[in-house]
Amino acid sequence: MATFVLVPGFWLGGWAWRSVAETLRAAGHTVYPVTLTGLGERVHLAGPQVNLDTHIADVVNLLRYEELRDVVLVGHSYAGTVITGVADQLPERIARLVYVDTWPLPDGVAQIDLNPPEARHAQEQQVATTGEGWRLPLPSWEELDQGNELRELGEAERRMMRERAVDQPFGTTTQPLRLKNPAREALSRTAIWCSLTVDEVQGMIAAYPALLSALAEPGWEFIELPTGHWPMFSRPRELGELLGSLA
């Protein structure tokens, strides 16, 4: 049996992994769903000081203080950047990295750099005018509904997300990822693609080689789980079983 550490993306807490964690635990695995600083039940710790380094430290400290080794470290969406930073610091504690509908950013790139200039400017304006200079709220469904992002999310799942999501500390978006330890590149790496197909991802690698350079490295395993961008809500049992099969 394996030890899983599950890290959620923007606006979500460890609560988002509940159904996935139940599936993994029923199969005998040990599971740690993470709530990053300023999100979920830790929303009271939110503030302008929270950045990417804070969230990387959240997971690094969990591994250290719980004395976790041979971990299957899972990151969804933005958390792909977090788990990459964790792997840079503690590669010896990790058995496999799993990226759920995301990929590892290169050194020196921030999450906001993935946005086109007009989208970046709109986010910055929203944070400045309605987010006290440091909070990024969950966008409207219309803004999120691009491509297959919301596929298979029913009313119940959307209501749960809207009720429990909290504003994302904007510093986690703007701080670039810094990588120093090439040992992380030797780790087993899997990408589970949900809102994209593997063929679409290959096309993106060819079109944006600088941003997706890590995906072009040897040793990757690509798996499709066709659904929307939030499979922990739309396909939790299937995602849990798929993760279990990677242990």
**Which of 77, 195, 234, 245 is the catalytic position?**
77
Is 77 designated active site?
A: yes
How big is the CA angle at 42 (ends 19 and 123), to the nearest 5 degrees?
Answer: 90
> Buried b vs exposed e over 200-236: b needs ≥16 C-beta within 10 Å?
ebeeebeeeeebbbbbeeeeeeeeebebbbbbbbbbb
Catalytic residues: 77
